[in-house]
Amino acid sequence: MDTSHIAPTLTDTEVLEFCKHGYLLLDGVVPEEINRKTVAFVDRNTSLEPTDILGEDWFIENVILHPAAAGAVRSLLGSGFEIPILMSNHRVHMPAPAQGWHRDGGSRYGPALHYLQVFYYPEACTAEMGPTEVLPGSHFLFQHSSMMGHYGNLRHGLKTVASAGSIFLTVYSIWHRRSVSTARGVRNLLKYNYWRTSPPARDWVIEPDFDFAQADYSFVLRGLRQQFRDTVDASEMFFWLCGKSREYQTMGGQGWPMPGHRNASPRGYPGEPTAATY
């Protein structure tokens, strides 16, 4: 399907925030009529891979290509991105225990963003229904899934409590799990991927006053990783998405992209001489 006509909707700041946190939640964007049709479809087709729903025009138009979701995907994956070819449904009969923390098989680590993992709640999901829990900023944090499941409750875990019709986009490698549910009934959560087909470029919504040198690349949840490692990784992903990966460099120390209240531009910003060039 041709998606080249879809316009980007995210700004420089919003793209950078995605690089830092690893996810973006679009709350309640899908119309209620479409949510009801989706629930009816998966109630009739209870497979864990109801891929046939991708053959429904109403689903493609109002979920997969919903302007808010598709605009965000276009911002992150560029023009002409490919739509999903596989649909999963994490259909849970509640109550149910929490899953172990994991990152999905096929995860790769680094600044490149070639695909997005996306979740859609066709029904409201309360904390009692066991929403997916993500660990913000963990998309750069490598660990084998077999060594993650015993962690239990993590201090910075975020439950994606959301309204019906909510869509949230994630970096594929983000740590996540199904949280414990105490409600009764069935909870549906559809999951799918979008794919990049074009080279990265800064062709989303440009902020005229956005300053690469002074932007805040730091992550707000202190203690999750070694000091400032998140800052370096987020800045490198942002430069990659801008099509500037060959320009990227860091000097270390208190230089760019480290946060701080300076009285001048940070040293080591890409393009300035560093120990690697002088």
Q: Which pLDDT tens digit goes with each residue over 226-241?
A: 677 889 999 999 999 9
The CATH number of residue 202's host domain is 2.60.120.620
According to the model, what pLDDT value does residue 145 have?
Answer: 62
CA angle 89, 151, 48 (to 5 degrees): 10
**pLDDT surpasses 60 at 164:** yes
Instruction: State the total domains in the chain.
Output: 1
Strands 190-195 and 88-89: antiparallel
**Chain position carrying tokens 């993992």:** 117
Checking if the pLDDT of 36 tops 60, the result is yes
Kindly report, residue by residue over 202-218, the tens digit of the pLDDT: 999 999 999 999 999 98
CA distance 85 to 89: 14
- Name which of 178, 157, 154 is nearest 96 in CA terms: 178
CB count within 10 Å of CB 127 equals 15
Angle 44-179-225 from CA coordinates, rounded to 5°:
135
- Cα 6 to Cα 77: distance, rounded to the nearest angstrom: 12
- Give every CB contact of residue 83 below 8 A, 6+ residues apart in sequence: 1, 3, 54, 60, 64, 65, 194
Which pair of tokens denotes residue 101? Answer: 């923390």
- pLDDT of residue 276 exceeding 60: no
> Within 10 Å of residue 271's Cβ, how many Cβ atoms?
11
Give the SS3 label for residue 24: strand
Residue 140: predicted pLDDT: 82
Phi-psi map region of 247: left, alpha, beta (phi>0 left; psi -120 to 50 alpha): alpha
Tens of pLDDT, residues 110-148: 899 999 999 999 999 999 999 999 988 878 876 666 656
Rg (CA), the chain: 20
Q: Where in the sequence is the domain holding 11, given as residue range(s)?
A: 1-278
273 or 103, higher pLDDT: 103
pLDDT value of position 201: 98
pTM, two decimals, is: 0.92
pLDDT reported for residue 130: 94
Mean pLDDT of 26-43: 98
